[in-house]
């Protein structure tokens, strides 16, 4: 930035001492030091922000390139799978698969349901109460 050697700094100090005087020189030196520190912090913040912006632009460019490559590969796979008569072939819609509880329950074999104590068939509450009602104890009915 500036080419200041020791001799030039000494000359600036002597001129400042003559111009400002010994009473105001320390306060002026503190003020100049504070202003230089603020300027350095501001410059470093600006440099950091510029470098972050450059990194973001570079990452966005890489993302766009990667998305373009993925689209090309997807198209190549689609072209390889497409039958010879494309008018009868529809590209499947990409929708999220829904999990269906009934289908999952139907897939389980009955022996697993019995072992895991899963219900194999539906039963009403009244039927369940009759089925699991405790048996009466064999007590003599007459005294």
Whether 81 has a pLDDT exceeding 60, the answer reads yes
For the chain, the average pLDDT equals 80
Q: 77 or 88, which is more confident?
A: 77
Residue from 104, 79, 101 nearest 89 by CA: 79
Angle of CA points 61, 57, 48, to nearest 5°: 155
pTM of the entire predicted model = 0.41
In this structure, what is the dihedral angle of CA atoms 37, 39, 45, 46, given to the nearest 10 degrees? -160
123 phi and psi, to 5 degrees? -145, 140
Cα gap 135→31, rounded to integer Å: 98
Residues 28, 20 contacting (CB under 8 angstroms): yes
User: Residue 63: what pLDDT?
Assistant: 94
């Amino acid at each position: 930035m500036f080419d200041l050697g020791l001799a030039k700094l000494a000359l600036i100090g002597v001129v400042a001492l003559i111009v400002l005087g010994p009473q105001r020189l320390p306060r002026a030196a503190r003020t100049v030091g504070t202003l230089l520190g603020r300027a350095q912090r501001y410059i470093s913040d600006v440099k950091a922000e510029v470098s972050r912006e450059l990194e973001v632009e570079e990452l966005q460019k890489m993302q766009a390139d990667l998305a373009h490559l993925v689209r090309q590969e997807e198209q190549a796979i689609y072209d390889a799978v497409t039958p010879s008569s494309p008018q009868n072939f529809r590209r499947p819609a990409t929708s999220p698969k829904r999990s269906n509880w009934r289908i999952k329950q139907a897939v389980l074999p009955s022996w697993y349901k019995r072992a895991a104590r899963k219900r194999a068939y539906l039963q009403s509450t009244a039927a369940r109460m009759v089925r699991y009602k405790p048996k009466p104890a064999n007590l003599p009915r007459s005294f």
